[in-house]
Amino acid sequence: MHPPHSSPDGPQRDPYVRTVGRILQKLDHAYRAGRKQLAVLIDPDFGQDEKRLERTVQNACMAKADLIFVGGSLLTSAAFDRCVQRVRELSDRPVVLFPGSPAQLSAHADAVLFLSLISGRNPELLIGHHVTAAPTIKALGIEAIPTGYMLVDGGRPTTVSYVSQTLPIPHDKPGIAAATALAGSLLGLRTIYMDTGSGAERPVSRAMIAAVRAQVDLPIIVGGGIRDAATARGLCDAGADVLVVGTAFEQDPEQIFAMSEAVHG
């Protein structure tokens, strides 16, 4: 006989609790082992072109990209869900949502970046959208990864700075980024995402990544404006743990192979 809340394999847990942490654990293990990772970002708008979507996801799998992120557009939830489902069908990689709004949630994903825009001062993006999304995340049973999202100036205004109505951190102020990331870490966030926004002119600087790396013992995700393998390698060497690339692969899905080789060293 076992007590009501246990089984021969150990305590029975709420199914939601069982799924929490699997992708975060992978991110954390890779960070601690010094294994750099590549995430291919699929914009659901782009995902409506079935042939290009297939080619990008197949290349991501063949090139052994570590993760597929989906998100960042203003699409309706139905179209978003269809795109995530299609990526799931085509891919053997973990699928992680990078939502542009609380409507961008899907049961077909493994996890969602639960983003707090800590570089900004917009309360909706620090806690408001989270309150709206939390019951759905729990009902869908997908893992939420508490993420401190920092928008960094990448040379020109991007969709994310316009939509979020927030000022990015100046590109040449690594100290501000480091203090912001440290505050996020002290608040209990589990990963830091530094982004210059999709299609940015330039990525986050190596100096800024190094400054954040020196302050937080967390996986650091870096995205925005990464277009070639040499740049990708340089950002990893500076301390980035996961690189997110979208636009470059939309323009040329074959680039995934060179980028993956550079990231994986």
Q: Which residues bind ligand 1GP (CB under 6 A)?
A: 41, 72, 195, 197-200, 223-226, 244-248
The set of residues, in sequence order, having a beta carbon less than 8 Å from that of 51 and lying 6+ positions away, is none
CB nearer to ligand 1GP: give 65 or 244.
Answer: 244
Q: Residue 114's beta-bridge partner residues? A: 146
Give the whole-angstrom CA distance, residue 10 versus residue 72.
40
CB nearer to ligand 1GP: give 168 or 197.
Answer: 197
Please tell me the number of Cα atoms within 13 Å of 52 on its side-chain side: 15
Q: Which two tokens stand for residue 65?
A: 């990209």
Give the whole-angstrom CA distance, residue 35 versus residue 223.
17
Going from the C-alpha of 43 to that of each of 56, 208, 261, the distances in angstroms are 11, 26, 23
CB nearer to ligand 1GP: give 81 or 250.
Answer: 250
Specify the residue for token string 């869900």: 81
Supply the minimum distance, in Å, between the C-beta of residue 215 and ligand 1GP: 21
Supply the minimum distance, in Å, between the C-beta of residue 26 and ligand 1GP: 19
Q: Which residue is nearest to ligand 1GP (CB)?
A: 223
Supply the minimum distance, in Å, between the C-beta of residue 41 and ligand 1GP: 5
Supply the minimum distance, in Å, between the C-beta of residue 203 and ligand 1GP: 8
Supply the minimum distance, in Å, between the C-beta of residue 231 and ligand 1GP: 11
CB nearer to ligand 1GP: give 58 or 247.
Answer: 247
The set of residues, in sequence order, having a beta carbon less than 8 Å from that of 128 and lying 6+ positions away, is none
CB nearer to ligand 1GP: give 200 or 236.
Answer: 200
Task: To the nearest 10°, report the CA torsion of 179, 180, 181, 182.
Answer: 50
